[in-house]
Structure 1
């Protein structure tokens, strides 16, 4: 009897699992995943499908998922493993939605505890203020507004990218954010930021197309891409690091501005449930990660403990 032929070629894998891959791509677009996440998740899923060696997806099961993750651990860290697991979980969720699978074996596999308990990287409030001084260039006001939305409102880079003119409610002093899971979230704006966005709106470049509704427009007259926003942030952080040795070794990014916002809000004593809503988290456990970083508050709390030395002396 002829043995099962291993699928090694990418085209063969795409042909063998064409329906499932097409369903997953459509599902991610419909669910509001960013283009970057779609590409990354699809790449992970293609690697997973290659590990199945042509077997039906339904037969993979929990052991198939773990086998793939273990093979990746040899060359990658815990964060990469968890990203791969998230991609596979989403893949099976898509198949179930399209009635191409009946169960999600990836849900039975736990994420790495090391990554789950990892402290978020963030800037202190004074460092966040200092970083703004390093935003320069022809479109400085636009770029500052982008930083403010991520660092003082907690927006994801994809949410900044998707922000449209109609989402800015200047009279009400709020923005409507289209976030993960295709959920809308209204975020009240600090008065200073609301006024600044009005100013940026007045300076907004004329789009290439009259139908373009993007709030942030590139010099070519198109919606500012996620990559362009990340480039603006990276250039600013590079200049900031050169003059501030304390943050030189920090892996700063757009998402770290979001971390900074959550940390700042909790340090100010805001209710974690309110911060959860502002961040657009689906679970309060995710928001709770930012409570781990506030060591100064714990130190101050313990300093208030009064031990009666005369009673034990």
Structure 2
């Protein structure tokens, strides 16, 4: 089995290009590490075959080799990594086609209903946000749950992205796209307060909106920890939710679900979520058990006609 050093000898130019491309595209450090790990495993499977000569068969063979030990979600993530790898090479004119696009994703992941909190549950969870910098933590939580920001987008948010006069924030999201999102007045007021309380960063030119107690841009891991501690305390007082897997991304699910349940046009939800395709937004058009019961309660069976 070749070492990473040997793989770099064979495919170093391509892996170097991929790293540069992901950084420039704004991928989080966690995603970069995961994608590089998947791509190294894929390159190992090519057995020195030139990347540009690999085709659909090589991609499928690699996915099949992992299939016994991984589920559909992992398979889809692996495929996404390989697709992104080839996209970067095409962008740098180091490849002419993306064979991974010819391989279909598993449908299981698409059919899975997103985990989300009901609007009342979300409101109750806010009381459990604690910490020395409580206002900052609340603002972070609200941006994810009432504006739909990804954790990486909260991490990258700068003071200059908050347009106080317009009442909007400019978000640098997936696909290297900027998205302007209107901010509710209450959240805008809180962001203004947090900005005033903000610790002066050690780096003079640091423009990060959310800063740690050490004067550095708040990391993704720190943001996840804030949310994790909140969910832990919330679930301890709400045993019925103990088995629900809550995370920063589940707040984003909650935001999209809340909008659609409130009758917001799905095309508007797509834009607010920063989705490239409306098909992605469609996964939030699920219905819950209570909605099913309400629908069935409108039906009247004519028992008098039967008797």
TM bucket, shorter chain: over 0.9
- State the shift of 1:225 in Å: 0.7
Q: Is 1:133 paired with 2:133? A: no
Per mean C-alpha deviation after superposition, the further-off stretch among 66-75 and 44-53 is 66-75
Q: How far apart, CA to CA, are the structure 2 residues paired with 1:277 and 1:306?
A: 40
Deviations 1:49-93, CA, capped at 9 Å, x for gaps: 011111111232111111111111211111111000000000111
What's the secondary structure of 1:186's corresponding residue? strand
Segment drifting more, 87-96 vs 30-39: 30-39
Q: Which residue of 1 aligns with 2:285?
A: 291
Instruction: Label 1:294 to 1:286 Cα distance change in 2 as closer, same or farther (>3 A).
Output: farther
Structure 1: how far apart are the matches of 2:95 and 2:288? 44
The Cα RMSD (Å) is 1.4
1:18 and 1:281 mapped to 2: Cα distance? 33
Q: CA deviation at 1:239?
A: 1.5
Work out the number of aligned pairs and report it: 307
What CA deviation, in whole Å up to 9, does each residue of 1:239-298 have, x standing for no partner?
A: 112111121111111001100111111111111111111100111111110112444334
CA–CA distance in structure 2, aligned partners of residues 243 and 303 of structure 1? 32
Aligned residue for 2:89?
Answer: 95
Q: Please give the residue correspondences for 1:1-313 in structure 2 after superposition, counting only pairs within 5 Å.
A: 8-311=2-305, 313=307
3-state SS of paired residue (2:245): coil
Runs of at least 5 residues in structure 1 that lack an aligned partner in the other structure: 1-6
TM-score, scaled relative to structure 2: 0.96
Whole-Å separation in 1 of the counterparts to 2:27 and 2:297: 46
Deviations 1:194-236 (A, max 9, x none): 1111111111111111201000000000110111111111111
Runs of 4+ in 1 over 2 A off after TM superposition: 293-313
Distance 1:72 1:259 in 2: 29
The 1-side partners of 2:49 and 2:287 are apart by 45
Gaps of 5+ in 2: none
Residue by residue over 1:18-42, the C-alpha shift from the partner in whole angstroms, topping out at 9 and shown as x without a partner, is 1111111111112221121111111
Instruction: Report the TM-score when normalising by structure 1.
Output: 0.94
Whole-Å separation in 2 of the counterparts to 1:291 and 1:227:
30
SS, match of residue 171 in structure 2:
strand
Report what 1:3 is aligned to: none
